[in-house]
Chains A and B, each alone.
Chain A
Amino acid sequence: MLSKAVPYPEIHQPKACIQRIECCSNWLLVQFKTPFNGETNDLTQSRIMNNNKSILRRLATVVAITSIGISSLVQSAVQEPVKVGIMMPFSGVYAALGDAGRNGLKLALEEHAAFLHGRTIEYIELDTEARPERAPEQASSLLSQQKADFVIGPVHSGVAMGMLKVLSNQKPIMIIPNAGANAATGPLCAPNVFRTSFSAWQPSYPMGDVALKSGYKKVVTMSWNYGMGQESLDAFRESFTKGGGQVVKEILVPFPKTEFQSYITDIAAMKPDAVFVFFAGGGAVKFVKDYDAMGLKGKIPLLGSGFLTEGTLAAQGAAAEGIVTGLHYADSLDNPANIAFRQLYQQQFGKEADIYGVQGYDAGLLIAQALNATNGNTADQGALIKAMESAVIDSPRGKFHFSRSHNPIQNIYLRTVENGVNKVTGLAAEALEDPARGCKL
């Protein structure tokens, strides 16, 4: 008589906490109302006999249901969505990188929703605009107000420094899906900070050996004058000079200047054996086109950290043909994870995946693995970190795991641009681990 018309709180299905409370309170309301509404019916049938009993029964049920309600509330507390803060640039020069990273992240978490033990994901997206000065404030809001479980970001190394200031050794687990500043998994490494991309050192260090093997003795290096550029050039110089090569000039262009002509003329006047550069995005397009336009292409070989030809080949066109780069990924990698990933990405977002999508995707895989290992419990940070440290990520770039400083130990592929594609011609380095200088983990 009582419970038929009553919606029963469903405990096994994950539902939002507020919905549950509403559900329970509605039910209780119905319980307390029925004695008066239902009275007449009861009385017409068996006025005296059932009266006391039914009140007792109702009371008992109310108590029982209330306790179920409470237990379901406790359950809902566990089943709150996992809060994933995203701090990436969605406007400005790096907007395309932010978009791709976010796409990859969501793709992985949707694809592996079954591993999340019933937990849903709540995204909190903040546009960093790649502006370092805003990073600490945005990171603090994710830390204190939003109480995020994970913070994914950023793209720009300067922003990473600002975020680390706030998030190191705090509750959220920070996963860096791009920013390559060596320090993030070097002197500033922290137990709760992971990186699914690379350290600046990684793609450039093997290129020194590549240059030596190609017989180049005198090389000019060039980049923007900022952390990532400087660290890339240093890594190249480290292996190149160790093997007897000479860096005849290091050119640092003020960031984000893209008037490269005078520098390229300068290079032409020096006539080195080869040129090694770090540029990315729009600057990479401009540099490669200028290098070609000034007639250096084909005369002075151009080497680079792989970002020179990532996501930029369409815009660079024929000017990019023949450029040799090293990177931890190539679109054309022939492994099942990469093929499946690229297909899925294309379906979902209607465009080709790129390295930034891969790195975001791997951040998602890492979260899914960690949640799976802890049965969806995000309260125990120690357990999460342990799970992440031992995770093996089946990445589109090939399987990798993390070093003691939480940076991927990964292959660096040697690629040459042929017919508008980065063709993999071999390994520049196998399972390369960042030296993590200054990390005390």
Chain B
Amino acid sequence: MDLAIFLVQLLNGLQYGLLLFLIASGLTLVFGVMGILNLAHGSMYMVGAYLAWYFFQGTESFLFSAVISAVIALMLGVLIERTLICRMYKRNHLDQVLLTIGMIFVFNALQSLLWGNDPLGVDVPDALSGSLHLTGVVEYPVYRIFVALFCVAIAAALYFVINRTRLGMLIRAGESNREMVECLGVDISRLYTIVFGAGVMLATIAGVVAAPMASIVPGMGEHVLISCFVVVVIGGMGSIKGALVGALLVGVVDTFASVVVPDVASMIVYILMAVILLIKPQGLFSN
């Protein structure tokens, strides 16, 4: 592997990792603050991709469909939290898992009813449809670079919100001691609604930006969910910083493993997870 190809592969890995981070960040945020294990998180990613496709059909404007999908996602998140998730706070993880697995089935059935089962695709927006020539016959699509930068921007925004704003302070406080937060007169249930809505929106936005480079198919959410859990477990359940590091690690390791040691590539990520858990049983950045 010469240097140019090595760098392209590194770029592949980082870009994949950043997208994983975008999906996983919502999962880890919701778990960290609310203690809710949301298995339907992957379904939100799927919903995002399908919404992007649906609105793109009508409007031909990717930006518009992205914005409206995000708004719908936020409302969906709030609705789910207010009607279903809010009943789960005092119950154990098994009950949460049962509820959210049920939600996976509901979302899959809705997807099948509303949009059918054929694979769908969204065109890359015109402004981002070019590609950069890198080396040999390799070109790199501008859109993928855009997605990588977008994910970095989201990571930065999350960092800012959590560390520099009042909402972030409450989130951090909620993570470490929720009774105390309540005692201080904070309406914890409103905080939870906001956090869950944000978590759903992050997954949905990931689905939207992935839509032009993914194939939009039934079951796409479940595939991504497993990778997300690996990321979150490596990074430490509930840690956004951990999710970023875990995602980049998984992205880069998976990319190189698939080329260098293709026969065992599918195992490498899980071996990585196992090794990290042996050394740090709570993950890299657990609280």
Contacts and interface: CB of A to CB of B under 8 A. Distances in A.
Interface stretch (B79-87, B117-125, B151-159, B175-183): B117-125
A280 to B, nearest CB: 10
Given A91-B112, A265-B8, A285-B215, A294 B259 contact: no
A56 to B, nearest CB: 66
Nearest to B256: A262
A269 B214 CA distance: 23
A315 B121 contact: yes
A258 B210 CA distance: 12
A93 B219 contact: yes
Contacts of B254: 259, 262
Given A261-B16, A268-B138, A314-B121, A289 B213 contact: yes
Interface stretch (A42-50, A185-193, A248-256, A368-376): A248-256
A300 B141 contact: no
Contact of A282 (B116, B215, B265): B215
Contacts of A289: 121, 213, 215
A258 B119 contact: no
B223 A286 contact: no
Interface string A96-109: 10010000000000
Interface string B108-140: 110010001111110110000001010011111
B121 A316 contact: yes
B16 to A, nearest CB: 6
Interface in A286-318: 286, 289-290, 293-296, 299-300, 311-312, 314-317
A347 B205 CA distance: 38
A266 B15 CA distance: 16
Contacts of B102: none
Contacts of B38: none
B218 A262 contact: no
A96 B117 contact: yes
A261 B255 contact: yes
B287 interface: no
B97 interface: no
Given A254-B266, A265-B138, A285-B119, A92 B214 contact: no
A286 B256 contact: no
Interface in B1-17: 1-2, 5, 8-9, 12-13, 15-16
B220 interface: yes
Contact of A295 (B16, B137, B262): B137
A282 B1 CA distance: 30
Given A96-B119, A254-B265, A311-B118, A295 B215 contact: no
Contacts of B9: 262, 265-266
B133 A295 contact: yes
B108 A96 contact: no
A256 B262 contact: no
A315 B119 contact: yes
Contacts of A256: 223
A247 to B, nearest CB: 15
Contacts of B258: 253, 259, 262-263
Give the one of A256, A282, A284, A285 with max B CB within 10 A.
A282
A257 interface: yes
B217 interface: yes
Which size class do B's interface residues fall under?
35 or more
Nearest to B267: A254
B252 to A, nearest CB: 10
B241 interface: no
Contacts of A314: 118, 120-121
B144 A262 contact: no
B50 to A, nearest CB: 13
A277 to B, nearest CB: 15
Nearest to B134: A295
A95 B215 contact: no
Contacts of A92: 108, 218-219
A281 B119 CA distance: 7
Contacts of B112: 91, 95
Interface in B25-65: none
A295 B139 contact: yes
A293 B145 CA distance: 12
A230 B128 CA distance: 36
B216 interface: yes
Residue with the highest number of chain A CB atoms closer than 10 Å, among B131, B218, B223, B256 = B218
B218 A93 contact: yes
Given A258-B215, A261-B255, A289-B215, A295 B131 contact: yes
Interface in B198-227: 213-220, 223
A229 interface: no
B12 A285 contact: no
Contact of A265 (B12, B120, B141, B215): B12
A440 interface: no
A283 B120 CA distance: 11
A256 B226 CA distance: 12
B222 to A, nearest CB: 9
Given A96-B116, A290-B213, A295-B133, A317 B138 contact: no
A134 interface: no
A165 interface: no
A294 B138 contact: yes
Interface string A312-333: 1011110000000000000000
B118 A261 contact: no
A295 B119 contact: no
A317 to B, nearest CB: 6
Interface of A: 91-93, 95-96, 99, 225, 251-254, 256-259, 261-263, 265-266, 268-269, 271, 281-286, 289-290, 293-296, 299-300, 311-312, 314-317
24 contacts: A92-B218, A93-B219, A252-B262, A253-B258, A257-B223, A258-B215, A262-B256, A262-B258, A262-B259, A263-B258, A265-B5, A265-B12, A282-B217, A285-B119, A286-B213, A289-B213, A293-B131, A293-B141, A295-B133, A300-B137, A311-B119, A314-B121, A317-B121, A317-B123
Interface of B: 1-2, 5, 8-9, 12-13, 15-16, 108-109, 112, 116-121, 123-124, 131, 133, 136-141, 143-144, 213-220, 223, 254-256, 258-259, 262, 265-266
Given A95-B218, A281-B119, A289-B121, 13 more contacts: A95-B117, A256-B223, A257-B266, A266-B9, A269-B5, A282-B216, A293-B144, A295-B131, A295-B137, A311-B118, A312-B119, A316-B121, A317-B123
